[in-house]
Amino acid sequence: MDIVESKVKDQLDVFALREQFPVLARRVHDEKPLVYFDNAATAQRPLKVIEAMDDFYRRYNANVHRGVHQLSVEASEQFELARDSVRRLLNADSVREVVFTRGTTEAVNLVAQAYLRPRLEEGDEILITHMEHHSNIVPWQMLCEQTGAVLKVAPINRQGELLVEELASMINERTKLIGMVHVSNALGTINPVEEVCRIAKKHDVPVLVDGAQATPHMAVDVQALGCDFYCISAHKMYGPTGIGALWARESILEDMPPWQGGGEMITRVSFEGTTYNDLPHKFEAGTPNISGAIGFGKAVEFLEETGYEGIVWQEERLLEYATERMQAIDGLEIIGTAKHKGPVVSFTLEGAHPNDIGTIVDHYGVAIRTGHHCAMPVMQFFDVPATARVSFAPYNIRNEIDIFLEALGKARDMLA
Partner 1 sequence: MALDKLYQQVILDHNRSPRHYGRLEGATHSARGHDALCGDDILVELRVADGKIQEAAFSGEACAITTASASMLMDWLVGRSRSEVALEHAHFAQLLDDPELPDRPELGAINHLRAVSGFPARVRNTLLPWRATLQALERQQ
Q: Is 104 in the site for ligand PLP (CB under 6 A)?
A: yes
Single residue of 78, 85, 105, 129 touching ligand PLP by CB under 6 A: 105
Burial of 180 (0-12, 13-18, 19+ CB in 10 A): buried
Contact call for residue 408 and partner 1 (CB under 8 A): no
> Which residue, 3 or 416, has its beta carbon nearer to partner 1?
416
- Asked if 129 touches ligand PLP (CB under 6 A), the answer is no
Q: Which stretch binds ligand PLP (CB under 6 A): 137-145, 207-215, 221-229, 395-403?
A: 207-215
Shortest Cβ 276–ligand PLP spacing (Å): 25
- For residue 20, the minimal CB distance to partner 1 (Å) is 29
Q: Which of 133, 176, 298, 369 binds ligand PLP (CB under 6 A)?
A: 133
Q: Which of 69, 72, 94 is nearest to 287 (CA)?
A: 72
| Beta strand 150-154 pairing with 125-129 | parallel
Q: How far is CA 215 from CA 78, 88, 152, 219, in A?
A: 22, 12, 27, 7
Name which of residues 335 to 374 contact ligand PLP (CB under 6 A).
374
Active site residue 374: yes
3-class secondary-structure state, position 266? strand
Tell me if 95 contacts ligand PLP by CB under 6 A: no
Segment interacting with partner 1, rule: CB under 8 A, options 164-172, 185-193, 355-363, 391-399 = 355-363
Amino acid present at 237: M
Closest CB 143 distance from ligand PLP, rounded Å: 17
Burial class (CB in 10 A: 0-12, 13-18, 19+), 213: buried
Q: For 167-205, give the DSSP string.
A: HHHH--TTEEEEEEESB-TTT-BBP-HHHHHHHHHHTT-
Q: Does 210 bind ligand PLP (CB under 6 A)?
A: yes
Question: Using an 8 Å Cβ cutoff, are 251 and 206 in contact?
Answer: no
Q: Which of 135/289 has CB closer to ligand PLP?
A: 135
Closer residue to partner 1, CB minimum distance, 246 or 403: 403
Q: Could you say which of 75, 190, 225, 386 contacts partner 1 (CB under 8 A)? A: 386
Contact call for residue 150 and ligand PLP (CB under 6 A):
no
The verdict on 376 binding partner 1 (CB under 8 A) reads yes
Q: Crossing angle for the helix pair 308-327 and 290-306, nearest 10 degrees? A: 80
Contact status: 44 vs ligand PLP (CB under 6 A): no
Count of residues that interact with ligand PLP, criterion CB under 6 A? 13
* 356 part of the interface to partner 1, by CB under 8 A: yes
Name the binder of 133 from partner 1, ligand PLP, none, CB < 5-8 A by kind.
Answer: ligand PLP
How many angstroms separate the CA atoms of 391 and 42, rounded?
10
Instruction: Name the β-bridge partners of 268.
Output: 275
Contact 247, 227 (CB under 8 A): no
Q: Around Cβ 195, how many Cβ atoms within 10 Å?
A: 15
Give the integer Cα–Cα distance in Å for 204 and 222.
17
Q: Strand pairing of 98-101 and 266-270?
A: unpaired
Nearest to 140 by CA among 163, 117, 170, 119: 117
Q: Does 180 bind partner 1 (CB under 8 A)?
A: no
Among the residue ranges 24-32, 205-213, 260-268, 334-342, the one whose residues contact ligand PLP (CB under 6 A): 205-213
Asked if residue 242 lies in contact with residue 102, where contact means CB atoms within 8 angstroms, the answer is yes
CB 210 within 8 A of CB 182: yes
Q: Which residue in the set 260, 267, 359, 399 belongs to the binding site for partner 1 (CB under 8 A)?
A: 359
Nearer Cβ to partner 1 (192/371): 371
Q: Across-strand partners of 197?
A: none
Q: With binding defined as CB under 6 A, does residue 212 bind ligand PLP?
A: yes
Residue 290 interaction partner, one of partner 1, ligand PLP, none, beta carbon < 5-8 Å per kind:
none
Q: How many residues bind to partner 1 according to rule CB under 8 A?
A: 17
Q: Which residues bind ligand PLP (CB under 6 A)?
A: 103-105, 133, 135, 181, 185, 210, 212-213, 233, 244, 374
Q: Which residues are catalytic?
A: 374
Residues in touch with partner 1 (CB under 8 A): 353-356, 359-360, 363, 370-372, 376, 379, 384-386, 414-415
